[in-house]
Structure 1
């Protein structure tokens, strides 16, 4: 059975069932959150841009933020038959794409995104089984619903599978 490739845009989320494959391009400071239920083979991916919707005035797109995006991703997966207690996650992205001379943490969006995502997944008791975050390079990821495999492609750093 041929697997369908479903693109997840920036500040977007999608869920598929086996044999679907989710992909998102150009994760810089953004984080790709991949959640999987190995029994129902429901896979979800969110491409978040910022850690929290609470500190931003223009927060009309809930998919843009870690706090609201992960909530909605889990909700969507549960509607497709996934169970929260079986879910596992894999995350990638959160790079520091630009160097700043300031020591101001506000500019460390990638790092702040990674911290926020990990805290929210911990609150949901969803274990992170693999992570490829940080560094100074962008990533493109593919998440396979047949087996929960995460493929991370990085220019100049090759391909990793988790």
Structure 2
């Protein structure tokens, strides 16, 4: 078993029995797609809700509207089927609040909304999530059992 790390604004795909992990989820959202039939998982560490451009030079892992479709495409090229996929999410915290804060500053909640919208457009259900709050997270997904482990300083370790 290998542990594959996903960086900020990054994505990757693994097969069983490998584990996929990302750290430093504050307002960012960790999106895991899983095809339980072939036990393949993909993870994106989404930083922002929407890409200003959909041209080829855009970092696809950085934005919800590009990361989710790209991850599906990548997994399908490796043998997964979109019709079998489901998702788990974590992150999307509101790390800082200020008086008179505009909607643009609600990055975490906007990231969660954008990821869910992208998943909905593709017909991929969300099977579990640990989103919101005002604390950071580290997540790890097991391709063997489909469990997303979420580690936080405030709430300890939970399974989603």
With normalisation by structure 1, the TM-score equals 0.94
Shift of 1:71: 1.1
From 80, 101, 120, the equivalent of 2:99 is 101
What are the Cα deviations for residues 55-99 of structure 1, in whole angstroms up to 9, with x where unaligned? 79xx73121000011111111111111100000000000000111
From 70, 78, 81, the equivalent of 1:80 is 78
**2:41: which partner in 1?**
43
What are the Cα deviations for residues 110-137 of structure 1, in whole angstroms up to 9, with x where unaligned? 0000000011101111110001000000
Unaligned runs of at least 5 residues, structure 1: none
Check conservation: 1:100, 1:107, Cα contact below 8 A.
no
**C-alpha distance in 1, partners of 2:20/2:114?**
22
**C-alpha distance in 2, partners of 1:7/1:91?**
16
With normalisation by structure 2, the TM-score equals 0.95
**C-alpha distance in 1, partners of 2:138/2:75?**
22
Does residue 147 of structure 1 match 2:145?
A: yes
Structure 1 residue runs of 4 or more that deviate by more than 6 Å after TM superposition: none
Does residue 158 of structure 1 match 2:144?
A: no
Unaligned runs of at least 5 residues, structure 2: none
From 113, 121, 137, the equivalent of 1:123 is 121
User: Partner of 1:64: helix, strand, or coil?
Assistant: coil
**1:92: which partner in 2?**
90
State the Cα RMSD in Å.
1.3
